[in-house]
Structure 1
Amino acid sequence: MSEILVVLERDVVAPPDVTFDALADYSIMRPKILPEQFTGYQVTAGGTGEGTHITYDLHATKKRVRHVEAVITEPPAGQQLLESDTRSTLRVLWDVAAAPAGSKVTVKITWQGAGGVKGFFERTFAPGGLKKIYGAKLDQLQQQIAQDAP
């Protein structure tokens, strides 16, 4: 088994605090930015930032569905949100930093991949699928922030 890492970045035309607050809002904003591959999304505790608990099904492919039950923490290193699946090694780290256009959002997705032949295929194909899914989520974030701007 080896760790699999997927990293995406997007510039968001909004100040870092606005972008972070949007990402930390798991009750209202997050459902608005979920692509179709996320189903059954629910906030089961909290709703904003640290201490929030969420659950959803991630449809990585038509046949591959992962049920996620995540707890949200805010690491002390800046404006970050860490979504840790309590049922697996899946971790999604959202980082918001200042950028010339407003904010830069970096999302890092990690998990311990399978070994052997199954692991080879997972390392080969999963990163591309997750880049597409989370890229759509980042695009929706930008659109929603722009739409909600006064």
Structure 2
Amino acid sequence: MFLTENGDEMWDSESGTPLADMVRDAADAQSYRQLADRAVDPRTGYRASHSTLWKIGHGEQVKISPQLVRAVAAAVGLPARDAQVAAAQQYIGLMAGDPIGASTAEATVVMAHVPGLTAGDMPRVQDLLTKWAAGERGAEKGQ
């Protein structure tokens, strides 16, 4: 369990089913077999079956892997990062984003964190990223 600076418990919030929602939304316009025709991981060539996509869309247990997540992204026509973020949230309860607002036009910061985390909950991370962005030596070593 993780506590915020206010003492709130973070693991108790529902993480939802964003990967299942992503697959179900795509299946509203076509069959799971049609989705499976496009469910090919561009890196490895792994193909997700229509039954695996159906299981994901209906919230059933599947053996999750990077190849499967990239195949799901290809099937639904979204960037792999979107499917990776959704899978992290659904399967392990982590959110991915920039809760401290450190992203700039030149660099995007993505951190895996428990739901509800704010900049106030991680001042050391914010300080480290600020130093790194300013180009201070030693920031990458936490100095």
* TM-score normalised by L of structure 1: 0.25
* TM-score normalised by L of structure 2: 0.26
Q: Whose radius of gyration is greater, 1 or 2?
A: 2
Name the structure with the higher strand share. 1
Name the structure with the higher helix share. 2
Work out which structure has the larger RCO, using CA pairs closer than 8 Å and 6 or more positions apart in sequence. Answer: 1
